[in-house]
Amino acid sequence: MRKRYMKILLIVSISIFVIMMFAFCFTGYIASQPLKLKIDTIVFSWLQSMSSSLMTRFMSAITFFGSRYFLFPCYAVLVAYYLFIRKKLWFAVAFALTGFLGNQLLYLMQDVFERVRPADSLIGFINGFGYPSGHSFASFVFAGLLSFLVWQKHLQIKWKLICVITLFLIASIIAISRAYLHAHYPTDVLGGFYLSILWLIPCFWILYFVDKKIPDPFR
């Protein structure tokens, strides 16, 4: 029964991976063209309709939680927890590599598509290319990793679902803040989401394998 379940899960994972790969590449291709995309204009107009000084201050604050200044210490705490408290050396290493290599993948993709950011950012000049959004990617990756950890806990399914939904809602708000602040185009934010799913799928399988199959030397 378990083997059948894992086989179905693998098929679903591959299917989602292929869909996200197509969505990411297609969106990146059209976004890298020297044309204004209608979806970007529509979403910018919608966000502009909600604009206020209070909303701008909120978005400026929430966007910090998708930055490396917040996420790097979070990764460090989790890696230290699994390394020194749970005594799971290989899981801690795999977790750290997920975050580090994910960032390298992000920078690589930004250099590939070379999309210029919006010129009217509300938070001043920002270096680097826009597609995919780094804050969007990093937020969804971290939310996904926390969801993976929550799902391994012995909790009732409803509490697991509540935690997972909450984490992805927070990541979504962080991603939206990047478009609201004109730090990225809305399609950049979509690209960050697509890339996060592409990265999380193999990482979930690796973390599962490491956690269940590879013995730690501390044990």
Q: Residue ranges of the domains in the chain?
A: 2-213
- Beta-carbon contacts of residue 153 (< 8 Å; ≥ 6 apart): 160
Report the b/e string of 51-61 with b at 16+ CB within 10 A.
eeeeeeeebee
Position 216 scores a pLDDT of 66
- Beta-carbon contacts of residue 110 (< 8 Å; ≥ 6 apart): 128, 129, 130, 131, 132, 134
161: tokens are 């679902």
Position 199 scores a pLDDT of 97
Position 215 scores a pLDDT of 65
DSSP annotation of 32: T
Position 33 scores a pLDDT of 82
Backbone phi, psi, residue 38, to 5°: -65, -40
Query: pLDDT tens digits for the chain (219 residues)?
Result: 667 778 888 899 999 999 999 999 999 998 888 777 888 889 999 988 888 899 999 999 999 999 999 999 999 999 999 998 888 888 899 999 999 999 999 999 999 998 989 988 888 778 888 999 999 999 999 999 999 999 888 888 889 999 999 999 999 999 999 999 999 999 999 999 999 999 999 999 988 888 776 766 655
- Beta-carbon contacts of residue 149 (< 8 Å; ≥ 6 apart): 78
